[in-house]
Amino acid sequence: MNPLRVLFLCTGNSCRSQMAEGWAHHLKPGVVEAYSAGIETHGLNPHAVSVMAEQGVDISGQESQHVDELAHVDIDVVVTVCDRAAESCPVFPGTTRVVHRPFDDPPRLAATASSEAEGLEHYRRVRDEIRTFVDSLPQAVSGG
């Protein structure tokens, strides 16, 4: 059976979609073929890299990509992980399904934290929420 090709789409492909791709590679090899991209590119968020490394998942080699860079990949499911990406999601050809599963924006939340340690707690919470979602794949995105 072929793995489910999942694109995690976010605004800047710097944090949430990158964490989701990392979790999919770590938790679902052979089950999910994961990609991440953004409707813009903002580089890889160092705090996302750090909190994923705490869980033994190295995303430091991943790159921030624009969704157009994946036009050659036949995606089965696009998971928009932020509201802006859902609102600006491009149209995908054929039978590609789009599922909206928003997660809070760690950089935005961390910006109001009183310390870097407190800010990292937002990243950790969202990281763990994304892990739970990715762990439920492919069932979480099956059906109509």
Encoding tokens for residue 9?
Answer: 């789409």
User: Active-site residue numbers?
Assistant: 10, 82, 89
Helix spans in the chain (H): 16-27, 46-53, 83-87, 106-110, 116-135
Encoding tokens for residue 70?
Answer: 């994946």
- Tokens 């990281």 appear where? 127
Residue 16 identity? R
The three-point CA angle 42-55-129 to 5° equals: 70
